[in-house]
Chain A
């Protein structure tokens, strides 16, 4: 157990939510990108979380879990086709595949990530306040 109880879990969550925000920012930036590094249409990226047990030094018992990013995967939903006959990437019918990024979904995800980030900051703050209070025992 560290000096501040629960700090490993909360700080891992801060990392993870930060990664999610980065991915969302990437999605929004590439929302109209029909040609990425490989020449493919950009596919929306999603972050998958998983929990990892806290193995504190010298303790075998379960002490709660941290969270980490398992992988960043491509969103498998089909790419929408838009009618853009003048576009160099349009096919025979003039349809172009666009990235499957919906800005509204991304904004909702961003709010969720921000809220989680703030909640975890609050946990760390509560833990630190508990620690400071315990120092008063030996005033």
Chain B
């Protein structure tokens, strides 16, 4: 149930952040990295071409740009994407306390897998 409770709170929080940042984004209060009106010109491109044309950041390169209207939304997206890692970290002590060795190992391995994916260390060649 600890997993469910953290998941529930985190999901609502992430959703709220996303809604707020999206409203800010489309309001234009903060200038965007890619002007909203220009988006239709670029969203038909493959992501590699998009990044080259706009010098868009990859990996965690968006973090310094959270002041931009579009990249501000990445805060909520990252929250939701990281929620599962948090849930596993919460249940890990519980599994250890129960001496559920197999599931302790599984939980630790999962945290490592998800952290690797989130790290930005994995690169993909351009198509």
A and B held together in a complex? no
Residues of chain B at the chain A interface (Cβ within 8 Å) = none
Residues of chain A at the chain B interface (Cβ within 8 Å) = none
